[in-house]
Structure 1
Amino acid sequence: MINGDLTIHTTWSENLAHVAVQYTGATDWYTMEGSPVPCDSEEASRAFHQAVVEAARGGERAEASLEELFQR
């Protein structure tokens, strides 16, 4: 589990949303478990990114999978 001051980055390509996380100010990025997630549009990937950010801010544990967050 990664926690603390984090930066979350979501990219969208070929109908997939790729989510990576890093400790803010660090150089290493970590692919989130479950990434990439099928995602039909860049707009949907932005909404998905926001759901991931909100989950991290709320302290949700890994039990909330990326697939579950995408369904929100």
Structure 2
Amino acid sequence: MEPEGQLVYDPRTRRVGEYRDKIGPYAMLRPVGGGREWEADPETLRPATAAERLAAQVRAVNRRTKRRV
């Protein structure tokens, strides 16, 4: 099981998410910066690379900035 809060890559959705919990057969991930959680297959998840973490964090900052404008 992944530690809560770790950033992982979901190859099905091609997204980086923050690991929240495991519910039944699914891992629950939340987008970096917040948002709606999604279900992922825990068998396919892997730790996000440094480049993937950085890209996800930049997207989150850009979304926040666009909301303010």
In the superposition, the TM-score normalised over structure 2's length comes to: 0.35
Q: Give the strand-richer structure, 1 or 2.
A: 2
Greater C-alpha Rg: 2
